[in-house]
Amino acid sequence: MADHSEVAYTTADGNDYPAHEQTYEGFIVLVKYGTAAVVAIVALMGFFLT
């Protein structure tokens, strides 16, 4: 069997967790507003195109 050593990301030097958290929070904001925009577009299409 293959020798499973330690996982690399747990032992890597220089992990920048504050930058990671900031990027993740930006992604969540983008998904939230993007979803709201798509819902608004679909609702407007349903209202005006039917």
Q: How far apart are the first and last CA of the chain?
A: 62
3-state percent helix, strand, coil for the chain, nearest multiple of 5: 70, 0, 30
Instruction: Evaluate if residue 9 carries a pLDDT over 90.
Output: no
Mean pLDDT for 8-27 is: 80
Query: pTM for this structure?
Result: 0.65
Instruction: Evaluate if residue 1 carries a pLDDT over 60.
Output: no
Q: What is the pLDDT of residues 29-49, one digit of tens each?
A: 999 999 999 999 999 999 999
